[in-house]
């Protein structure tokens, strides 16, 4: 019988707002596990916001946990008599111990028993073997289901069911600490009872809903009330009908994927989510196209029909419909069902105030002190304390003993502040909304609408403070990565992304260009093209994160300018196969105020910043208002695609030849510097020359094939898949962008 178990490895996603934070727990997973059990009324702290995770657990205490977890919340009928001589009716645990023995529902489980001498031993500590036994009995297992050898058989069965996952001990006689008891109990609540598809969790809830994802709360969406939340349920997201919750669900549970718990009695509202053990991936987006999402770890090519949810736009549709709204710097979460099939992609917001409780602006009279034993980290690089500058934002990470420093900021016109300008919950700059925590709101006291201000952000992307631009300003340079209806999406070199509406000017020719973002006194946005001048000297040794004598951020953003004047195209660090990139291939670098390089523009290093296909040109007729155009037919990974680009003048080398066209050219505004890369014919080969879909043997040596390469059929004037071409044709002309020795691949094939 298939068993479904809660994964403690996913407990980092757990927490409930109705539970208090425990000051003596530093481990995030344990803190959130304790919060869940507290919210469910099963396992509370010991008083004074303490959980006492390292203390041992007694038989009386464990009995109370077991009885409550089994749904017996009212034990008052069992507190007026004595069953065991060492548990008088005056004992605090007497109602729970008596209930375990006498309650009509509980006694058939035989969860906990007294000793042969008739005593219970309420103050004796519980060992690991005993804990495993009681948890298995809670699920309905008996000796005949487990085996005759105690405690070995019980520990083995508990382990096989996942009940012991994440605990710090496995020795049968070891005392169970409160921390381990909490973890084991949460695992058990997420398990299915013996011979049933019902979770034990259902005993403490009026209802549960499986396969839910928490997408928004009032901490991320100001339009929601504090007792409301939006969930992904049964493949649907309904912002118009949010669920009622018991307070604001904790920010750390945003994105949690698992079973939604509905409270009992008068609290039949959503208490929170207990995660399942399904696969969840969290990735940082570096660039995106209609064919692929590039992240800091891998390149993903989702099906165009895959569900995609965008929290900032409150939209759920398909990847094919919404891909252009995924921005560099976004955190993309991939959710899979129990069979490993992609269920949902989601770009979720950052909860207001995440990390702000320990964040402060450096260099002020009110600034906190950085403990002497803390390491200073800025953009992922350890730096000297002297590198921290005034108005940097410092976040103290007690768990890792780090001071995480951010110099991320934006300058612009204060356009909106709601509900109060001088103490806002949300503000708007460059048509982009930002959520403001209570501590950050205090810094708006003397600011007014239309003031030129600067927002300071912590390393997690939360607004920490605001100041007049005359006090502190930002370098507002970035790359234009998308343009639609006069709205430019600009990936700032500091890691933030803006989507300003630029009025009264043509911005289409700035697509893929380095620009400065600014605003006039009336709030109108303008973009000014910048030249790629200035770089750190030396070679870039990728393994060592060094460029010459400079450190390179492990989160560095990398672009390619494949031809001089071509649009910039962002690539993933993993796309670079060379161990060292020479100085001659480095066009431009950007550093933070500590000297760490955070952005690099390269030449054509990877070969991946082109559209490879068959190029044609058509010359325009000025007398008929017809413009010149370049058309390329290429394979998009699943189908033949044709795109057309307006140009001022046609480049040489078209006429139905295999070419590369730099990615990012505007399809609206004619480009005056449009250029192409003619591909070189390597050889004409037969079917036997191909090594599957990996490579091909030619007269000039072995060449790798580009990923998802297509094959052009001249008679049909379209591309087909390589497999289809192999099934129908015998000769193939293969074209490369470079020689194999220089990293070239076969990029276009023509079949005949």
- The CA distance from 577 to 600, in Å, is 16
- The CA distance from 366 to 740, in Å, is 60
Number of H helices, E strands in the chain: 10, 49
How confident is the model at residue 388, as a pLDDT? 96
- The CA distance from 506 to 526, in Å, is 10
* pLDDT of residue 399 exceeding 70: no
- The CA distance from 389 to 595, in Å, is 12
pLDDT tens, position by position, 209-227 = 888 999 988 877 777 888 8
Q: Are 183 and 8 in contact (CB under 8 A)?
A: yes
pLDDT band at 19 (very low <50, low <70, confident <90, very high): very low
Q: Are 465 and 262 in contact (CB under 8 A)?
A: no
Cα separations (Å) of 38 from 44, 162, 178, 181, 379? 5, 22, 13, 13, 37
Q: Which of 14-18, 51-55, 157-161, 198-202 has the highest mean pLDDT?
A: 157-161
Burial (Cβ within 10 Å: 0-12, 13-18, ≥19) of residue 567: buried
In the predicted model, what is the mean pLDDT of residues 108-127?
Answer: 90
Q: What are phi and psi of 204, to 5 degrees?
A: -110, 10
In the predicted model, what is the mean pLDDT of residues 243-258?
Answer: 77
* pLDDT of residue 5 exceeding 80: no
Query: Scanning the structure block, which residue is given the tokens 């591309």?
Result: 719
Name the strand (E) or helix (H) holding 308.
strand 307-310
The closest alpha carbon to 230, from 318, 307, 315, belongs to: 315
Q: Are 379 and 596 in contact (CB under 8 A)?
A: yes
In the structure encoding, which two tokens stand for residue 164, read together?
């012991």
In the structure encoding, which two tokens stand for residue 244, read together?
């009622």
Query: Scanning the structure block, which residue is given the tokens 């000051």?
Result: 23
Residue 117: how many other CB atoms lie within 10 Å: 8
Q: Which of 277-281, 292-296, 334-338, 679-683 has the highest mean pLDDT?
A: 679-683
Q: How far does Cα 469 stand from its chain's mean position?
A: 32
* pLDDT of residue 36 exceeding 90: no
Q: What are phi and psi of 465, to 5 degrees?
A: -165, 165
pLDDT tens, position by position, 602-617 = 999 999 999 999 999 9
B/e letters for 372-400, b = 16+ CB within 10 Å, e = fewer, are eebebbbbbbebeeebbeebbbbbbeeee
- The CA distance from 406 to 409, in Å, is 9
Q: Is the dihedral of CA 609, 614, 620, 625 positive or negative?
A: negative
Q: What's the DSSP call for residue 369?
A: P
How confident is the model at residue 366, as a pLDDT? 87
pLDDT band at 350 (very low <50, low <70, confident <90, very high): low
Name the strand (E) or helix (H) holding 66.
helix 59-69
- The CA distance from 74 to 77, in Å, is 8
231 vs 10, higher pLDDT: 231
* pLDDT of residue 52 exceeding 90: no
Residue 495: left (phi > 0), alpha (psi -120 to 50), or beta? left
pLDDT band at 723 (very low <50, low <70, confident <90, very high): very high
How confident is the model at residue 29, as a pLDDT? 65
How confident is the model at residue 32, as a pLDDT? 64
107 vs 414, higher pLDDT: 414
- The CA distance from 118 to 86, in Å, is 9
How confident is the model at residue 324, as a pLDDT? 79
Residue 299: left (phi > 0), alpha (psi -120 to 50), or beta? beta
Tell me whether strands 746-751 and 677-678 are parallel, antiparallel or unpaired. unpaired
* pLDDT of residue 138 exceeding 70: yes
* pLDDT of residue 12 exceeding 50: no
* pLDDT of residue 533 exceeding 80: yes
- The CA distance from 548 to 542, in Å, is 11
How confident is the model at residue 226, as a pLDDT? 81
Q: Considering the chain, what percentage of its residues have pLDDT values greater than 70?
A: 93
In the predicted model, what is the mean pLDDT of residues 546-550?
Answer: 96
- The CA distance from 251 to 228, in Å, is 13
Query: Scanning the structure block, which residue is given the tokens 């297509």?
Result: 710
Query: Scanning the structure block, which residue is given the tokens 């050219």?
Result: 665
pLDDT band at 505 (very low <50, low <70, confident <90, very high): low
In the predicted model, what is the mean pLDDT of residues 397-424?
Answer: 90
Q: Is the dihedral of CA 630, 633, 636, 641 positive or negative?
A: positive
Prediction pTM value: 0.64
The closest alpha carbon to 129, from 53, 62, 190, 71, belongs to: 62
Q: Are 358 and 396 in contact (CB under 8 A)?
A: yes
- The CA distance from 29 to 257, in Å, is 15
Q: Are 443 and 467 in contact (CB under 8 A)?
A: yes
Q: How far does Cα 726 stand from its chain's mean position?
A: 40
Average pLDDT, the chain: 87
pLDDT tens, position by position, 265-319 = 666 788 777 777 788 888 888 888 888 898 877 888 899 899 999 987 788 999 9
pLDDT tens, position by position, 169-222 = 888 999 999 999 999 998 898 888 988 878 888 888 888 888 899 998 887 777
- The CA distance from 457 to 578, in Å, is 34
In the predicted model, what is the mean pLDDT of residues 670-696?
Answer: 92
In the predicted model, what is the mean pLDDT of residues 87-94?
Answer: 91
Q: Coil, strand or helix: which one is 620?
A: coil
Residue 106: left (phi > 0), alpha (psi -120 to 50), or beta? alpha
How confident is the model at residue 105, as a pLDDT? 85
Cα separations (Å) of 182 from 29, 261, 506? 11, 18, 60
pLDDT band at 254 (very low <50, low <70, confident <90, very high): confident
How confident is the model at residue 435, as a pLDDT? 85
Out of 235-239, 293-297, 349-353, 651-655, pick the least confident. Answer: 349-353
How confident is the model at residue 2, as a pLDDT? 34
């Amino acid at each position: 019988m298939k068993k479904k178990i809660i994964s403690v490895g996913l407990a980092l996603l757990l927490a409930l707002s109705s539970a208090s934070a425990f000051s003596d727990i530093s481990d995030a997973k344990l803190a959130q596990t304790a919060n869940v059990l507290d919210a469910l009324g099963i396992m509370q702290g010991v008083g004074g916001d303490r959980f006492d995770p390292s203390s041992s657990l007694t038989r009386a205490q464990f009995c109370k946990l077991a009885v409550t977890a089994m749904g017996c919340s009212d034990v008052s009928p069992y507190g007026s008599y004595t069953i065991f001589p060492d548990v008088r009716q005056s004992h605090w645990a007497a109602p729970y111990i008596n209930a375990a023995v006498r309650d009509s529902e509980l006694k058939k489980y035989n969860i906990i028993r007294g000793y042969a001498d008739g005593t219970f031993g309420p103050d004796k500590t519980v060992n690991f073997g005993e804990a495993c036994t009681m948890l298995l009995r809670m699920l309905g297992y008996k000796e005949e289901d487990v085996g005759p050898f105690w405690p070995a058989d019980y520990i083995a069965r508990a382990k096989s069911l996942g009940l012991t996952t994440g605990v710090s001990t496995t020795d049968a006689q070891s005392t169970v600490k409160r921390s381990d008891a909490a973890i084991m109990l949460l695992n058990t609540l997420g398990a299915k009872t013996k011979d049933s598809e019902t979770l034990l969790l259902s005993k403490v809830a009026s209802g549960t809903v499986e396969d839910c994802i928490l997408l928004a709360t009032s901490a991320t969406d100001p339009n929601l009330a504090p007792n409301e939340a939006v969930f992904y349920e049964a493949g649907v997201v309904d912002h118009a009908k949010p669920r009622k919750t018991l307070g604001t669900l904790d920010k750390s549970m945003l994105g949690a994927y698992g079973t939604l718990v509905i409270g009992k009695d008068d609290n039949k509202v959503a208490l929170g989510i207990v995660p399942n053990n399904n696969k969840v991936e969290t990735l940082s987006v570096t660039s995106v196209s209609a064919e692929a999402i590039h992240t800091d770890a891998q390149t993903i090519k989702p099906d165009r029909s895959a569900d995609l949810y965008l929290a900032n736009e409150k939209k759920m549709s398909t990847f094919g419909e919404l891909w252009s709204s995924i921005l560099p710097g976004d955190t993309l979460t991939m959710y899979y069902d129990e069979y490993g099939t992609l269920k949902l992609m989601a770009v979720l917001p950052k909860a207001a105030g995440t990390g702000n409780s320990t964040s402060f602006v450096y260099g002020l009279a009110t600034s906190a002190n950085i403990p002497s034993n803390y390491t200073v980290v800025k953009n992922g690089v350890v730096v000297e304390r002297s590198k921290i500058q005034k108005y940097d934002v410092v976040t103290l990470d007690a768990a890792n003993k780090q001071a995480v420093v951010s110099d991320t900021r934006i300058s612009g016109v204060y356009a909106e502040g709601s509900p109060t300008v001088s103490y806002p919950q949300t503000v708007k700059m460059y048509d982009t909304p930002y959520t403001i925590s209570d501590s950050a709101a205090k810094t708006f006291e003397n600011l007014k609408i239309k003031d030129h201000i600067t927002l300071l952000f912590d390393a997690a992307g939360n607004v920490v403070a605001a100041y007049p631009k005359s006090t502190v300003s930002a370098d507002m340079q970035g790359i234009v990565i998308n343009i639609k209806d006069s709205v430019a999406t600009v990936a700032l070199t500091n890691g933030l992304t803006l989507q300003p509406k630029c009025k009264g000017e043509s911005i289409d020719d700035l697509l893929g260009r380095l620009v400065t973002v600014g605003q006039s006194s009336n709030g109108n946005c303008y973009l000014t093209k910048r030249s790629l001048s200035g770089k750190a000297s030396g070679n870039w040794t990728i393994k060592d994160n060094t460029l010459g004598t400079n450190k390179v951020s492990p989160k560095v953003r990398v672009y390619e300018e494949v031809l001089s004047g071509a649009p910039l195209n962002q690539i993933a660090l993993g796309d670079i196969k060379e161990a060292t990139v020479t100085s001659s291939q480095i066009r431009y670098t950007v550093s933070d105020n500590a000297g760490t390089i955070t952005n690099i523009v390269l030449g054509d290093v990877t070969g991946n910043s082109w559209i490879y296909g068959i190029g044609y040109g058509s010359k325009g007729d000025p007398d008929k208002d017809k413009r010149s155009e370049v058309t390329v037919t290429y394979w998009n990974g699943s189908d033949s695609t044709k795109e057309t680009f307006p140009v001022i003048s046609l480049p040489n080398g078209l006429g139905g030849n295999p070419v590369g066209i730099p990615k990012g050219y505007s399809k609206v505004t004619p480009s005056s510097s449009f250029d192409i890369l003619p591909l070189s014919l390597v050889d004409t080969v037969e079917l036997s020359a191909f090594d599957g879909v990996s490579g091909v043997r030619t007269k000039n040596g072995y060449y790798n094939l580009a990923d998802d390469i297509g094959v052009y059929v001249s008679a049909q004037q379209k591309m087909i898949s390589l497999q289809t071409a192999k099934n129908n044709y015998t000769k193939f002309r293969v074209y490369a962008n470079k020689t194999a020795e220089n990293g070239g691949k076969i990029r276009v094939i023509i079949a005949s």
